[in-house]
Each structure stands twice: as C-alpha cells, then as structure tokens.
Amino acid sequence: MKKVYWIIAVLLTLISCGEGRHTSIQANGIIPLPNEIVMGRGTYILQGETSVAISEDEASQKVFRYLANALKNTSVTLKRVSQTEPGDICFLIDSLLPDEAYTLDVSSGGIKISSNETAAGLFYAIQSLLQLMPAEIYNAGRKYDGKIEIPAVNMTDVPRFPHRGAMMDVGRNFQPKEEVLKFLDLMAMYKLNKFHFHLTDDQGWRIEIKKYPRLIEVGSHRNQTQVGHCDYYYPRRFDGKEQRGFYTQEDIKEIVKYASDRFITVIPEIEMPGHASAALAAYPEFSCGLGKTYVVRDYFDVFDEVYCPKENTFTFLEDVLTEVMQLFPSHYIHIGGDECPKKAWKKCSHCQALMKREGLEDEEALQSWFIHRMERFVNSKGRDIIGWDEILEGGLAPNATVMSWRGEEGGIEAARQKHKVIMTPGDRCYFDHYQESPEFAPLAIGGFLPLDSVYAYDPTPAVLTSEEQSYIIGTQANIWGEYIQTPEYFEYMAFPRLLAMSEVQWTQPGNKNFDSFLRRLDKEFRRLDFCGVNACRNFYEVNFTGAWNESLQTYEVTMKTFCPNAEIYYAVNDSVLSPSSSGFYTKSVGLSADATVYAVVYRDGKPLGKPVHQSFVVNKATGRPYQCKPLPSAEKVNEGIGLTDGIRGYARDLRRWVIFRGDTVRVTVDLGRTMPVSKVAFASLWRPYDMLWPVSELHISTSADNKVFTSAHSGKFTYDFTPTEGTCFPASLSFPEIMARYVCLEFVYGGPCPKGYYHEGQPSRLAIDEIELY
C-alpha cells in the first residue's frame, strides 16, 4: 500500500512540474530541488520562543537538537512540547511515507513536517526549511536579531537514490578531524547521506588499529611529498616537509556519531590487495618479499607493493577489519580492490603454488579469489563489501556492490549480473579534476569537469533495462587527495560542484533545470560564505570557447558565465577592463589574426570574479579538418579538430595535446581551397615519465587533389633537455612558397626513450599541438 501511495504521489509530481515552478521557487533557493513544491501566499514569522511539538523517540529528538543548534545565532529559541500539544512547529509521523521522504507545509499559522518513523525525512525537511531562511543566520560574526520570514510553501519530497555519497581521500594527504566534521555538516545541508572515508593508501595509513600499532607509528607519516605532478618534473621534485597524521579510535567514534546525528553513514575504505605501501612499510612480512624495501610513498603512482595472499596476511587483514567494524556500524565496508599490479604475484613462488592448488587460471583469478575470501569474512560479521570495478576481474564476489569508476562499463556489467552498483565514473564524478581553465587554476590531477557537466550527469545508463537500472543504488563525488594538502583547497575542489551532484542524487531528471539551479546557486554562495567555505569562484568568471567561421573567414570567440543576470565586458589585446573602456559582450567576437581576449563579469555595475584571458591563433590551418595516420591514441579536447582548434597546448595541461603512438605520424590538413603556403609551425611536448619526446624530424609535402603529393621541405630538430620540468618545444620550418590545397606533415618520433630516463629503451610517443600554416 505504501508503494502504491508513493507511485501516485510521484506521478502527480511529474504532472505538476514545468518551467513555471522553477520561476516561482528560484528566489527561495533550495538545493537540491524538491521533487514537488507548490508556493503559497503569505509567510510564517519565526521569532522569539517557538514551540516544537515532537514525539519522544530519539531520532525526532536528534532532529530537534539539530534545528535548535542551527538557529543558535538568531533570537529564536525552541521549546520542546509533547506531540499532543499545539506547537508552532509540528513533527508528525506518517508511516505511509518511504524512508527519507518528507512533507513540509509552511503557512501563516505554523509549520508542519511529516516523515516515517526513521525521522530521516524530518531531517531533510529541516534542510529545506533552513534554506528558506535568510543566509545571514549562518553569519557567526554577527547575531541575527531580525524576524525570520519563511515563505508559505507545500512540499512532498523523496530522494531519487538511496546512496547519495561523497568520498574524502585522507590517505594521500591527511585532513584534520575538524575539516572532516565541517564537511559532514556541509553534506547534511545538501541531503547527502553516505560519507566514503578513504583511510589507507600508499602514502599514508590514517586509522589507529590497536593490535597493530606500527600502522600509525610507521605508516601514518612520510618525510616529504612530491611537488607538482609525478610526470611533470624530471627528476621528481620534493618539498622536504614531513607529513603526518592519523585518527585515533576516539576520533573515529566522534566522527561516526557526528555523522549519525546528521543521518549520514560513514563507509570506511581499507585498501586491498593493492595501494598497500604504507601498511607494508609497517609490516613487510605481509608482502611477497622479493628483496624489496617497503616505504611510505612520497609520490603518487600505482606501485607494485601488494599484499601477499598468505595465511598470516589474511589474519592481519581480518584483525584490522574486525577493529574497523567495531568502530563503524555501516552495513558496507569498502575494501578497494582497484589498481592491483600483479608483478609481485607473478614472481612469488607461494602465489604460483596457491594458484595451482586452487585451480586459478591467472593472477586476475587470484585477485578474485582474494576478494572472495575477504568478502566471506566480512559477510560472517553481518556486513557486505563494496569494491572498485576491478573486483569484476576474475569473477565478482557473490554479495559485492560495485563502485564503477573506469567509466560506466563495470557498473553496467555488474547491474546485468544483478549486483548493486554505485556509479562514480571519473569523467563525471571525480572532483580532483579541473573545474576552470587549467592554465590558471590551482594544481589538479588532470581532466576537466566543470559545473554544468556534473549537473548533466544521469547515473542510469539507457542501455540497461528498467529492471537492470534498479540495481543502481546511487552515485557519489570522489575527491581524491593527491594534490589537496589543505582544508581550503579541499573545499575549493568540492564546492560548488557538490551542490550540482546533490541535485543529480536527489532530484528526478524530469524536474531538473540547470538555469534554475544557477539562480539558486547564486543565492547559495552567500550561505557558503557565511559558513566559511572556500568555494571555487569560477561561477562568477568568464569561460571561453572558439570555432572557425568558414563563411566569415574569422575565428569566433564565444564567452559565457554561469552567473545569472550578469554582463560580460571584454577587450582584445588589452588587459584593462571596465564598463567604460571595454566592449559589452552580446555575440561572438571575430578574430582575423592572433589575439588574446580579456574578459570580466559585472553585475549592478560591480565586477564579480577575477578578470580572465585566453589566447587564440589564427592562420590558414585554423579550424581546418585533417586526417591522421595512425589515429591519435588520445585527443581529449575538441576531438577531430584538436590540432587546428586555434588554441595552443601548454606543458602543464596534458589534456590539450593530441597524442600518437608509432614512429611516424602523418597528418594531412585540408585547406578547403588552393592557396599559397610557405611556413609550418607546431609544438611537441617533452614529459619523460609519460614517454613523450619531441618530434625529431618533419617532412612536408603538398597536393592539389589529396592523391599525388610533392615534397616541399624537410627538417631535423634538436632540443635542449637541461630543463627539469615538462616543456613545450615550439618549432617551425619555412620554405619557398607553394600553391596547395592539401598539406601533409610527416612527424618522426623521438626514438626510444634514452638511457637514464624513465622507460629506458621503450618506444617514445608524440604529443603535438597546434599545427599552424602560413
């Protein structure tokens, strides 16, 4: 009966939704957007002593205490009264409501909130209610003495997914307990309910285990940390600063209770069988030996150090998980399972004998056997495991839930096998990726994940049937910590993208509206500021795109900002920007020559974000199509025109470069018509760790019909490799003018990786950008 009731309610919700509702509620700024909301007339005035009628159960009392604490900076005081008495605010029980669902009714006469017996819905209704109040109530520096006007509204709401998660990685870089608690507060505000706590990795072990004290004595600190990307400097650079930190079991108990008080479940992750360097530095006897010295790693990579599947190793891991499960009441225990190299197992006589005895075909099957064994232990304690999608390799453990990160394929496969799935593909859910131009942003691991891409994500692939989709229990944001060394930087990476993710997790797709979200987020930034959150401000800045306009023969630069009701002012080759001296952006700006465009966002006559700029190149190749042989192994930006898209690559951002394998790369550019050509310019990239070495030779030929080519020029290049960081090497060749429609460029690779460098003797690769013809 409960299910039928709620299906009818959801159907009515979908029917009632439309653009009008977004217009009516955007001024009230609730994130994530409730699934049914009807604005009423009038307001309720919250002031002075306010009675709250609630039942005596602990869950309802917990919600009352949370609300009272949220209003501590106002003149409102809450008085708890029995549910049988009239109250200004009434907490009601409706057993027909599903878990986490709520109704919220605000009228001039009072506030009524309903949820089922779990009271989670009460808590989420309170979050919606608080967002209807002035953001100033969060200003710790000044008490809010005014009356609080709450608009009349009626909501009926339930989340789309039961798993609405965010992951904090403290294994790579420790975050203080206070930042963990602050993040839990922020998760609660936006109705997230699963906190994935990544506690162990190669660079640190962060949880006290009483039975194995060396895990924190040795595994929780390292002498230094790499500077920049592990593949950028040659040789690697280090900061020389000791880094340490761990959570005592008392800290963990405090974090778990703090989360529980906010209806958040903490899911611990203890990595195995890989990502084990810190643990093996403390207890090397649980490795395969092989004469290695195990250390807590001070740079970031995938390492060969893995647990050896010996009986003493399983005793160790079971002991660790026993203490972990005593601290974390979560039904799920995350055991990692990702990025497990098999090199040690292939050399280990014990592993090879074990595989033979158990009839395991290969090392992938051995990993599956390892995960199955650990799952049986976790299951024996009444819990289930979550693992990254690599746990599919060699066969999925019977009761495992898969966290799909290498795209959605692993999740799709697991759902088809009727296993629960949490979708978290890197290109949509990895908040360690850049969210603004990497050329000017703080260091990130790579990739590009702006706010709108997060918001647009739908975790239920259309290739699955509706029954298969039902196994997808949710999605989460993963905030990996390789380059996040401070709480401020953690918050910069998480916000405001986590707010976009909250709407993916909570709001039905048919109810989502990005323009409405932007207007609500614009107001929500004020609350984030009062809460002391160091959110990324790209929302108030200009983002550039560009494309060649064939009919106008100009390069058209498009500018946009996420900020609503804002104006963009720009200048070409002039960094001084103001409404009086700069152009007012209304349409794309045409460029006929190389130029740098500067821009800034204004609203109500005041600049909002910082000025930004982007350089563009315009030449005979700009925007022109080309053919490559072999095809690129990576072309992540403007696929198909990345070599001629008008933006030069730079050494720090590997994503902008078009990468090739093979000793010769042939690129044929179609100029569209016959025209004179007398110069070729390009750049190639040197990053030894990535096996990227610059072009050694270039052979140029031209054609009128793309069939018969005539040699035009050739040249060899030498480079200065004394720089100790990734370097963009520009190069050019000039030759007597020739008429051509097609220009073929044969780039010869840099040969095998030289002696003394990474990957010595292996074939190098080419990274090229931007091809320019004059």
Catalytic residues: 201, 275, 339
Cα–Cα distance for residue pair 682/731, rounded to 1 Å: 6
End-to-end CA gap in the chain: 74
Question: Which residues have C-beta within 8 Å of that of residue 360, sequence separation ≥ 6?
Answer: 354, 366, 369, 394
Cα–Cα distance for residue pair 774/772, rounded to 1 Å: 7
- 679-697 core/surface letters (b: 16 or more CB in 10 A; e: else): bbbbbbbbbbbbbbbbbbe
DSSP label of 33: P
* Best CA proximity match to 65, nearest among 260, 200, 347: 260
The DSSP annotation for 664-721 comes to: EEEEEEEEEEEEEEEEEEEEEEEBGGGTB----EEEEEEESSSSS-EEEEEEE-----
Please report which helix (H) or strand (E) contains residue 176, including its range: none
Cα–Cα distance for residue pair 475/458, rounded to 1 Å: 9
Cα–Cα distance for residue pair 460/453, rounded to 1 Å: 16
Sheet containing strand 49-54, edge to edge, reads: 37-46, 148-157, 102-107, 110-115, 89-93, 49-54, 77-82
- 580-599 core/surface letters (b: 16 or more CB in 10 A; e: else): eebbebeebbebeebbebbb
| Tokens encoding 578 | 């103001």
Cα–Cα distance for residue pair 34/36, rounded to 1 Å: 6
Please report which helix (H) or strand (E) contains residue 718, including its range: none
Scanning the structure block, which residue is given the tokens 């919220």?
104
Cα–Cα distance for residue pair 719/739, rounded to 1 Å: 31
Scanning the structure block, which residue is given the tokens 């996040």?
484
Beta bridge partners of 89: 52, 111
Cα–Cα distance for residue pair 559/570, rounded to 1 Å: 9
Longest dimension (CA), the chain: 95
Cα–Cα distance for residue pair 289/591, rounded to 1 Å: 62
Cα–Cα distance for residue pair 113/193, rounded to 1 Å: 20
Q: How far is CA 710 from CA 677, 679, 700, in A?
A: 13, 16, 9
Cα–Cα distance for residue pair 251/256, rounded to 1 Å: 9
Cα–Cα distance for residue pair 733/715, rounded to 1 Å: 7
Amino acid at 505: Q
Sign of CA dihedral 346, 334, 536, 246: negative
Pairs from 11-18 (Cβ < 8 Å, separation ≥ 24): 12/36, 13/156, 13/508, 13/511, 14/508, 14/510, 14/511, 17/510, 17/511
Q: Are the C-beta atoms of residues 130 and 113 closer than 8 Å to each other?
A: no
Strands (E), 466-611: 472-479, 543-549, 554-560, 567-572, 583-584, 589-591, 595-603, 606-607
Q: Are the C-beta atoms of residues 726 and 233 closer than 8 Å to each other?
A: yes
